């Protein structure tokens, strides 16, 4: 069993961008506690909400929270886009973004160098974005900012840094991304 990621600084930073930028049909990838999916329901520009996580506990929990708060949303268990066919206007991802440490933690482990899961996500996300659709992506200085920029350029995305937060050991960034 994997524990559900309890919202912390990164979650609250992303939440601010979700309130400001999310619109239309939204996917909250790696929903964890469901914080970004539930927050997007408060945004009047949002018309429908999907949430997904590889962790079954997170899926069950997010569904329970949504039902108890009367928020209509669809939640599915999926490894990135494996079980997702739809296209979206907004895809939110506060991913695991740290280089692998032992013991591995599903919510934190972004791959050996920290950016591998994000790279996989960005490759798959292209076919799930509507025209004019956006991705809101969080990562850290520990993920390697230069590498993330390189991955985005290689995959034909344009991007803008829309928020950042300096913490003791890292800096967090939020990018707003769209297809060129
Ligand atoms: C840093 S947590 C963020 C949780 C929540 N969205 C938030 O903002 O607090 C990352 C989440 O991604 C999920 N995750 C990890 N690998 C995944 C994958 N391959 N596909 C989908 N979700 C994944 C984890 O289970 C975890 O819930």
Q: If you take atom 2 of ligand 1, which residue's CA is the nearest one? A: 107
pTM over 0.75: yes
- Please report which helix (H) or strand (E) contains residue 154, including its range: helix 145-154
User: Which pLDDT score is estimated for 130?
Assistant: 97
Mean pLDDT, residues 13-21? 97
pLDDT in tens, 27-65: 999 999 999 999 999 899 999 999 999 999 999 999 999
Read off the pLDDT of each residue in 88-93 and give the average, rounded to a whole number.
98
Q: Which pLDDT belongs to residue 178? A: 97
| Distance of CA 108 from the midpoint of ligand 1 (Å) | 8
Contact 29, 93 (CB under 8 A): yes
Which atom of ligand 1 is found nearest the CA of 32? 27
Q: Are 126 and 178 in contact (CB under 8 A)?
A: no
- 101-147 per-position pLDDT tens digit: 998 999 999 999 999 999 999 999 999 999 999 999 999 999 999 99
Would strands 88-93 and 129-140 be described as parallel, antiparallel, or unpaired? parallel
Q: Return the CATH number of 9-179, one of 3.40.50.720, 3.30.530.20, 3.40.50.150, 3.40.50.300.
A: 3.40.50.150
- Sign of dihedral through CA atoms 65, 27, 13, 20? negative
| Cβ–ligand 1 contact at 111 (below 6 Å) | no
Any alpha helices (H) in 22-72, and if so which ranges?
35-40, 56-69
Question: Is the minimum distance from the CB of 32 to ligand 1 under 6 angstroms?
Answer: yes
Q: At what angle do helices 116-125 and 145-154 cross, to 10 degrees?
A: 30
Return the pLDDT at 147: 96
Over residues 166-173, mean pLDDT: 96
CA of 152 to the centre of ligand 1 (A): 20
Computed over every residue of the chain, the mean pLDDT equals: 96
β-pairing, 171-179 vs 157-166, is antiparallel
24 closest CA partner among 96, 120, 128, 156? 128
Residue 53 CB less than 6 A away from ligand 1: yes
pLDDT at 150 over 80: yes
Q: What is the pLDDT of residue 82?
A: 98
pLDDT band at 2 (very low <50, low <70, confident <90, very high): confident
Instruction: Report the pLDDT averaged over residues 57-77.
Output: 96
pLDDT of residue 1: 58
Q: Is the CB of 31 inside a 6 Å radius of any atom of ligand 1?
A: yes
């Amino acid at each position: 069993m994997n524990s559900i990621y309890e919202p912390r600084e990164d979650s609250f930073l992303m939440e601010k961008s979700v309130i400001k930028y999310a619109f239309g049909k939204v996917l909250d990838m790696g929903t964890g506690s469901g914080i970004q999916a539930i927050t997007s329901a408060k945004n009047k520009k949002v018309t429908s909400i999907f949430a997904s996580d590889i962790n079954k506990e997170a899926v069950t929990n997010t569904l329970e929270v949504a039902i108890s708060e009367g928020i209509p949303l669809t939640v599915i268990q999926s490894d990135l886009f494996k079980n997702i066919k739809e296209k979206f206007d907004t895809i939110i991802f506060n991913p695991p973004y740290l280089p692998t440490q032992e013991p591995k933690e599903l919510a934190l482990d972004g791959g050996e160098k920290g950016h591998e899961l994000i790279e996989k996500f960005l490759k798959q996300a292209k076919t799930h974005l509507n025209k004019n659709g956006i991705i809101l992506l969080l990562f850290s200085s520990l993920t390697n900012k230069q590498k993330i920029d390189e991955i985005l350029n290689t995959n034909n995305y344009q991007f803008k840094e829309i928020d950042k937060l300096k913490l003791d050991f890292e800096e967090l960034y939020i990018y707003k991304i769209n297809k060129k």
